[in-house]
Structure 1
Amino acid sequence: MQDEDDLVAAEDVLLFVNAAITSTGQREFHSGGGEQGLSLDFLHRYLMGNYRDLYAAALALDVNDHNAALIIRNLLRTSREAADPRAEGRLIARRLEALPPQRVYRLFRELRRAKVNNRRTRAVMRDWLAGRPDPAFEAVKYRGAFKSAVRHIHLAPQGELGPFLFDPHRGGPYATPILSAWMRAHYEQSAIYELPYTVAEGFAAKHGVGRDAFLERIAPRLTRLERLRLQESARGRDVKSVKADLSTMPLTRLASYALSLDLNERARRHDELAGALRAAARRCAGGLAGSWGAVAAVLDDSFSASGSAQKRRRPLAVALACHYLLEALASRYTPLWLSGRKDALMVRPYGATPLGERVLDALETGPDRLVIVSDGWDNSPPGLAGEVLRVWRTRLDPAGACAVVHLNPVYDAADFDVRRLSPTVPTAGIRDAENLVALVELAGFAEGRTDLPELRAHLARRVSDFLKEKA
Structure 2
Amino acid sequence: MTDTFADLLACEDIVMFANAAIAGTGQREFRSTAAAQRFGLRFLHDYVCGNYRDVYTAMLAIDINDHNAATIIHTLLATSAQATPQQRRAERPLIDRRLRGLPPQRAYKLFHALQRDRVNNRRTRAIIRDYRAARPDPALDAVKYRAALKAATRHAHLRLPGEYGTFLYDPLRPARYDTPLLETWRRAHYSASALYDLPLTVAEGFAAKHGIARTDFLRAIAPAATRGEALRLQSAAARADAPALRVDLHRVPLTRLAGYVLSLDLDERARRRGELTGALAAAARTAAGRRAGTWGRTAAVLDDSYSSFGSPAKRRRPLAVALACHYLLDALAERHTSHWVSGRTDPLMAYPRGSSPLAERVLDALETAPPRLIVVSDGHDDTPDVCASVLSAWRHRVDPGRATSVTHLNPVFDAEEFTPVRLSPAIPTVGIRAAENLPALVGLARFAEGTSGLHDLRSHLADQVERYLADSGDPR
Range class of TM-score, shorter chain: over 0.9
**Counterpart in 1 of 2:348?**
345
Question: Partners of 2:436 and 2:91 in 1: how far apart?
Answer: 26
Question: Partners of 1:43 and 1:447 in 2: how far apart?
Answer: 20
CA contact (8 A) 2:29 2:311 kept: yes
Q: 1:407 aligns with which of 406, 409, 412?
A: 409
Residue 236 of structure 1 deviates from its aligned partner by 2.1
**Counterpart in 2 of 1:55?**
56
Matches within 5 A, 1:43-442: 43-83=44-84, 84-379=87-382, 381-442=383-444
Partner SS state of residue 42, structure 2: helix
Q: Which moves more between the two structures, 230-239 or 363-372?
A: 230-239
Residue 382 of structure 1 deviates from its aligned partner by 3.3
Q: Which amino acid aligns with 2:223?
A: P
CA contact (8 A) 1:408 1:428 kept: yes
List alignment gaps of at least 5 residues for structure 1: none
Residue 77 of structure 1 deviates from its aligned partner by 0.5
Residue 254 of structure 1 deviates from its aligned partner by 0.3
Partner SS state of residue 442, structure 2: helix
Q: Which amino acid aligns with 1:39?
A: G
Deviations 1:226-273 (A, max 9, x none): 101111022123333321211110100000000000111111111111
Q: Which amino acid aligns with 1:16?
A: F
Question: Partners of 1:166 and 1:146 in 2: how far apart?
Answer: 11
Q: Which amino acid aligns with 1:444?
A: R
Partner SS state of residue 298, structure 1: strand
The verdict on how the C-alpha distance between 1:2 and 1:273 changes in structure 2, with shifts beyond 3 A counting, is closer
Q: 2:450 aligns with which of 448, 451, 457?
A: 448
Question: Partners of 1:452 and 1:339 in 2: how far apart?
Answer: 39
CA contact (8 A) 2:301 2:374 kept: yes
**Counterpart in 2 of 1:18?**
19
Residue 298 of structure 1 deviates from its aligned partner by 0.4
Question: Partners of 1:448 and 1:367 in 2: how far apart?
Answer: 22
CA contact (8 A) 1:355 1:384 kept: no
Deviations 1:393-439 (A, max 9, x none): 11111111111100000111111111001111011000100100000
Partner SS state of residue 421, structure 1: coil
Partner SS state of residue 374, structure 2: strand
Residue 450 of structure 1 deviates from its aligned partner by 2.7
- Percent of aligned positions with the same letter in both sequences? 60
CA contact (8 A) 2:94 2:469 kept: yes
CA contact (8 A) 2:410 2:432 kept: yes
CA contact (8 A) 2:218 2:240 kept: no
Q: Which amino acid aligns with 1:443?
A: A
Deviations 1:31-82 (A, max 9, x none): 1111111111100000001001101111111111011110000000111112
Question: Partners of 2:236 and 2:251 in 1: how far apart?
Answer: 20
CA contact (8 A) 1:256 1:317 kept: yes
List alignment gaps of at least 5 residues for structure 2: none
Question: Partners of 2:336 and 2:450 in 1: how far apart?
Answer: 29
Partner SS state of residue 247, structure 2: coil
Question: Partners of 2:430 and 2:351 in 1: how far apart?
Answer: 24
Partner SS state of residue 339, structure 2: strand
Question: Partners of 1:307 and 1:289 in 2: how far apart?
Answer: 30
Count residues with an aligned counterpart. 470
The verdict on how the C-alpha distance between 1:241 and 1:463 changes in structure 2, with shifts beyond 3 A counting, is same
Question: Partners of 1:441 and 1:142 in 2: how far apart?
Answer: 38
Q: Which amino acid aligns with 2:429?
A: T
Question: Partners of 1:166 and 1:349 in 2: how far apart?
Answer: 49
CA contact (8 A) 2:150 2:169 kept: yes
Deviations 1:100-145 (A, max 9, x none): 0000000001111111110000010000000000001110000000
Residue 2 of structure 1 deviates from its aligned partner by 6.5
CA contact (8 A) 1:376 1:408 kept: yes
Q: Which amino acid aligns with 1:259?
A: L
Question: Partners of 1:172 and 1:320 in 2: how far apart?
Answer: 54
CA contact (8 A) 2:3 2:455 kept: no
Question: Partners of 2:32 and 2:215 in 1: how far apart?
Answer: 40
Question: Partners of 2:336 and 2:73 in 1: how far apart?
Answer: 40
Q: Which amino acid aligns with 1:14?
A: V
Question: Partners of 1:190 and 1:237 in 2: how far apart?
Answer: 19
Question: Partners of 2:444 and 2:31 in 1: how far apart?
Answer: 25
Question: Partners of 1:130 and 1:222 in 2: how far apart?
Answer: 25
Partner SS state of residue 193, structure 1: helix
Q: Which amino acid aligns with 1:42?
A: F
When normalised by structure 2's length, the TM-score is 0.97
Over the residues paired in the alignment, what is the CA RMSD in angstroms?
1.1
CA contact (8 A) 1:7 1:449 kept: no
Q: Which amino acid aligns with 2:198?
A: L
Question: Partners of 1:335 and 1:266 in 2: how far apart?
Answer: 20
Q: Which amino acid aligns with 2:45?
A: H
Q: Which amino acid aligns with 1:422?
A: S
When normalised by structure 1's length, the TM-score is 0.98
Question: Partners of 2:188 and 2:74 in 1: how far apart?
Answer: 36
CA contact (8 A) 2:219 2:241 kept: no
Question: Partners of 1:241 and 1:329 in 2: how far apart?
Answer: 34
Partner SS state of residue 411, structure 1: coil
Partner SS state of residue 373, structure 2: strand
